Structure 1
Amino acid sequence: MSFRRALALAACGLAGGSVLFSAVVVGKQPGRGSDTDTRLGSSSATVPPATAAPPATAAPPAAAAPPGLLLLPPSASCPPAPGWIERPAANSGYWDSNWDRREPLALINLKKKNEETGEEELSSRLNHFKAKATRHIFLIRHSQYNLDGRADKDRTLTPLGREQAELTGKRLASLGIKFDQIIHSSMTRATETTEIISKHLPGVKKVSTDLLREGAPIEPDPPVSHWKPEAVQYYEDGARIEAAFRNFIHRADVKQEEDSYEIFVCHANVIRYIVCRALQFPPEGWLRMSLNNGSITHLVIRPNGRVALRTLGDTGFMPPDKITRT
């Protein structure tokens, strides 16, 4: 296929509203010679080696990509595209502006738009659904606790864990922020950590929830050998932790006029999963992060739904001999 034809096909993809990527090179797999076995979505395609061009009078065969390039499947609006163009899979570099289902345009039924007032009416309705405030979310991992406890009630904070909670509470108080509330896991170690922290933040309301309890959010990738819960645990815990994310992590309500500052005291697995989901990173990567006891993770959610990670697992306010990850 000529380069001119390739450019024409690329232009067709752009005209149809598709976003195109440049070629993604895939290395050869051992034992496959010059062929490359790739997966695009849920299907598999083998790219053959380049062959000689057919005679001009013959009907052109399906376009073949050079070895080592991903194939782009045909679309309804365009003929088969050359292999050096790739349509990205979901969540691979694209920001979903309606990730929390609070994007104003998604909340309006455009079919009911007033035809007489047109754009002015639409603009007015959009403003009705737009958030005005920024949410600051501080995710605190509980302090060190007694690992020998068989039941949750026996897994209380160690003396060092209580020191860590004191240091975290002092750090939060030193920020000079008027916190709106503390939402904490109902597990013993998170509840005790909350009680100590709250002494340094008098007057801040405390709320306990089962949604933030520790668990196995989703099977990690890559897997680890030292921690392998049963598949049913991922199924049960994952649904609950995902529910916690959807319930607590979203842009501000449209009725909220001022920026808010909220503290969530919970667990390492929950925090790591929430960070991945909030930043729209693959949630399976949650175990690639490590969080110290009593650490502070700061997420910011803007009115337009954009999310920023200010700090991840900060324990710089603790002396080195007080830092643990148990």
Structure 2
Amino acid sequence: MSHFLYLVRHGEQQDAEYGLPDGPLSERGKRQARALAERLGGVPFTAAWHSPLERASETARIMTERMPALESQPSTLLMDCIPSGPTPDMPHSFQPFFGSVTPAEIEAGEAQMADAIDEWMTPARGDRHDLLITHNFVIAWFVRETFGAAPWRWMGVNQANCGLTIIRVRSSKPSVLITHNDLGHLPVELRTGLPIEQPY
């Protein structure tokens, strides 16, 4: 029995460079979503969920329009969040990130991600292929969980817009990261959202 999670970061947001908290996809973001839907068209998905935020909801709508057998459901467990706070073993260079983050935001993020892991990082009784359309930090936390890494290690794990990460959840063995931030479906001009320019 195999349980596969297909984790997708939403497409590029319109006017994202202005720091808006949420909004519709840019034209490039829509193209990213369409390209990813074509890439995943042959996957026998069991179910799909997306963050209720507009940029993720629109990504889900565009993708499922091209995958008629699939309907995506909103889930607050996939909302953008801060998955954990600073810890004593965290490198000091990460400390500035938390300057404007409140303890309440950290507490809410920790609770959300604990529930998200309980919801999806569990072995299935039969073969499952689940699509999760969400946000950068959420995917980073799933990757961290796969490796059983220290809580702060989600920081510095980044996904491009409509990048694809696949995790296989197993019952008697640890989970496996099959691919991370796969951009093979996106031409170079559609590869956006990473903190540094890609060397290709």
Partners of 1:241 and 1:235 lie apart in 2 by 10
**Paired-residue identity, %:** 24
Rate the CA distance shift 1:189–1:181 in 2: closer, same or farther, 3 A: same
Match of 2:176 in 1: 308
Partners of 2:20 and 2:187 lie apart in 1 by 30
Partners of 2:149 and 2:21 lie apart in 1 by 34
Tell me how far 1:151 sits from its aligned partner.
Answer: 5.9
Unaligned runs of 5+ in 1: 1-132
Match of 2:105 in 1: 233
Question: Residues 138-162 of structure 1, C-alpha deviation per residue, up to 9 Å, x if partnerless?
Answer: 000001103247564xx11111111
TM-score, normalised by the number of residues in structure 1: 0.54
SS in 1 for 2:40: helix
8 Å contact kept, 1:134–1:260 = yes
1:195 matched to 2:61: yes
Unaligned runs of 5+ in 2: 195-200
Question: Residues 92-146 of structure 1, C-alpha deviation per residue, up to 9 Å, x if partnerless?
Answer: xxxxxxxxxxxxxxxxxxxxxxxxxxxxxxxxxxxxxxxxx21011000001103
Match of 1:180 in 2: 46
Partners of 1:241 and 1:156 lie apart in 2 by 25
Matches within 5 A, 1:7-22: none
SS in 1 for 2:80: coil
8 Å contact kept, 2:80–2:135 = yes
SS in 2 for 1:225: helix
Partners of 2:55 and 2:169 lie apart in 1 by 28
Between the two structures, name the one with larger relative contact order (CA 8 Å, sep ≥ 6). 2
Amino acid at match of 2:189: D
Tell me how far 1:183 sits from its aligned partner.
Answer: 0.9
8 Å contact kept, 2:146–2:174 = no
TM-score, normalised by the number of residues in structure 2: 0.86
Rate the CA distance shift 1:227–1:200 in 2: closer, same or farther, 3 A: farther
Q: Which has the higher helix share?
A: 2
Match of 1:251 in 2: 123
Please tell me whether Structure 1 or Structure 2 has the larger radius of gyration of its CA atoms: 1
SS in 1 for 2:78: coil
Question: Residues 40-95 of structure 1, C-alpha deviation per residue, up to 9 Å, x if partnerless?
Answer: xxxxxxxxxxxxxxxxxxxxxxxxxxxxxxxxxxxxxxxxxxxxxxxxxxxxxxxx
Tell me how far 1:227 sits from its aligned partner.
Answer: 5.5
Amino acid at match of 1:184: H
